[in-house]
Amino acid sequence: MHLGGLRPRFGPVPGSIGFELETQPEAVIATAASEVQAAGLRVDVVDPAEGYLETAWYDLGTRAPVPATARNLDRLVKLRFFADPLAGKTRVAAECVQRIADDPSEPERDLERMVPDSTPGRVLLDSIIARLKAAYPASKPEPPAGPSANSPP
C-alpha cells in the first residue's frame, strides 16, 4: 500500500478473487487495463507501479460506463485489481463490486459488496481473470534431478 499515490488505502473486499501470476505487478496491471478496455469498461484509475486498477461504474444492462450517481444499483458494477509482488511472482486480488445502497452519508466503499457467483458481473470478472491467467501461464515444473529410467547406466 502506497500513501500519497493513486492506490487507495483500503484493500480488496471480502470475497474477492485471489490468485498468483508468474510476472511482475506492473505487467499484470498493464494487461488488466487492456483486457478491461477490450471488455468495454472504462478505466478510471490505473497505476502499474503501485499495482492498482479501478474501472468506472459499469451498467451490465446497457453495457456502458455510467456516472457514480446512476440509480440502477442492481445492474451497476465496478472492477478493481490489486497486484503485489510475492517472491518473484505477483499476488493478485480482483473484485467486482456493487453498491448495496445509495447513501451519501456513508463512504462509498462501506456500501460496496462483492457480487455473487454466477451473476453477470462475476462472469465478466472471471472472463478477465481467465485472460490474465492465459497471458501469464504458470511455469512448467522442473524435471526431477538424477538419472532417468531411460538413461544409460
Q: For the residues of 89-109, what is the DSSP string, one character each?
A: EEEEEEEEEEES---TTS-GG
Where do we find the cell 460496496?
112
End-to-end CA gap in the chain: 55
Sketch out the chain's domains with CATH numbers: 17-135 (3.30.310.80)
% of the chain residues with pLDDT over 70: 87
Alpha-carbon distances of 48 from 15, 25, 28, 98, 115, rounded to whole Å: 23, 7, 8, 24, 25
> CB within 8 A of 5, min separation 6: which ones?
47, 50
pLDDT digits (tens, 9 = 90+) for 11-61: 999 999 999 999 999 999 999 999 999 999 999 999 999 999 999 999 999
Query: Could you tell me what percent of the chain has a pLDDT over 90?
Result: 73
121 vs 9, residue with greater confidence: 121
Reported as a single tens digit per residue, the pLDDT across 3-22 is 458 899 899 999 999 999 99
